[in-house]
Structure 1
Amino acid sequence: MSFVIRWLIAFVLLAATWNPSEWNYSRWALENYESQMPLTLLGGLVLLVVYIIYLRATLRSIGPIGMALVIAVFAALIWVLVDWGWLESGNSEVNQWLGILLASLVLGIGLSWSILRRRISGQVDIDDVDEG
């Protein structure tokens, strides 16, 4: 259940930032930055902080190679679904939502990887702590 929550937060973060509909921060900010600059800046900073937390945790957990492997696995899955005719590659809006889904799965797996690895292997990860 904890993976689903982390993944949903990543999905909401990405979809709230940008999606093919009219309901996203990027479009709202472009339309309202002059009249609501403080709120636009605050919203952008909050999104930036959450992105930094997610990206830093993902990079520390699975690293760039792990991120590339997760992306490759899900891209291959999408390719199989297109090849079988279950998905159409010509629908731009669906492809954009699939991109958001794919990116959110990478972030969700990155945040949950230590927990998943501990459950599978029984080994605990510890972060290096600098003594100062």
Structure 2
Amino acid sequence: MTGFFWRWLCALCLLAATYNPTEFNYVRWVLEYGSMNLSIAVLVGLILVVGYIIYLRATLRSIGPFGMMLVLALVCAILWVLYDLGFVSLDNPGFNTWLGLLTLSVVLGIGLSWSHVRRALSGQADMDDVDE
């Protein structure tokens, strides 16, 4: 369980570093100061792209596009229930952005962790997991 937590937390940090409703994110920084620090903007952008490639490739390989949509639908249904029960209010745009980031990070975290979950439940390893 702690492995999933760290993979999910890294996904959330990757998404939040790219964009969030605060002033501390890559997109806002590049729009305001990127032209003054073009080399740093390109370097940080490439680091973020590498992070996205790692997460998206692992997620697509483990659960595929259909699995991603299914996890996204499940998380959205949970948020809908929380909204209907009055636990979540959607009046604040900043909060809605954080909910979106949280939702996407759960999809990426589950995608990166799915091989570990499947191996624990079924006892079967993926071909990528077998040591040579």
Q: Establish whether TM, by shorter chain, passes 0.5.
A: yes
Offset at residue 90 of structure 1 (A):
1.8
Tell me which moved more, 89-98 or 72-81.
89-98
Aligned length: 127
TM-score norm. by structure 1 comes to 0.94
In the alignment, the residues of structure 2 paired with residue 82 and residue 89 of structure 1 have an alpha-carbon distance, to the nearest angstrom, of: 8
In the alignment, the residues of structure 2 paired with residue 3 and residue 111 of structure 1 have an alpha-carbon distance, to the nearest angstrom, of: 8
* 1:44-96 Cα distance to aligned partner (Å, 9 max, x none): 00100110110011000000000000000000000000000000122211111
Moved beyond 6 Å, runs of 4+ = none
Identical counterparts, % of pairs? 57
Cross-structure match for 1:23? 24
Amino acid at match of 1:124: A
* 1:8-31 Cα distance to aligned partner (Å, 9 max, x none): 000000001000111101100111
Cross-structure match for 1:124? 125
In the alignment, the residues of structure 1 paired with residue 49 and residue 12 of structure 2 have an alpha-carbon distance, to the nearest angstrom, of: 15
Amino acid at match of 1:121: S
In the alignment, the residues of structure 1 paired with residue 48 and residue 90 of structure 2 have an alpha-carbon distance, to the nearest angstrom, of: 30
Cross-structure match for 2:97? 96
Amino acid at match of 1:33: G
TM-score norm. by structure 2 comes to 0.94
Cross-structure match for 2:55? 54
In the alignment, the residues of structure 2 paired with residue 65 and residue 2 of structure 1 have an alpha-carbon distance, to the nearest angstrom, of: 24
Cross-structure match for 1:11? 12
In the alignment, the residues of structure 1 paired with residue 80 and residue 114 of structure 2 have an alpha-carbon distance, to the nearest angstrom, of: 25
Amino acid at match of 2:29: W
> 1:44 aligned to 2:45?
yes
What secondary structure does 1:16 align onto?
helix
Amino acid at match of 1:116: V
* CA-atom RMSD in angstroms: 0.7
Amino acid at match of 1:31: E
Tell me which moved more, 27-36 or 77-86.
27-36
Cross-structure match for 1:2? 3
In the alignment, the residues of structure 2 paired with residue 21 and residue 60 of structure 1 have an alpha-carbon distance, to the nearest angstrom, of: 33
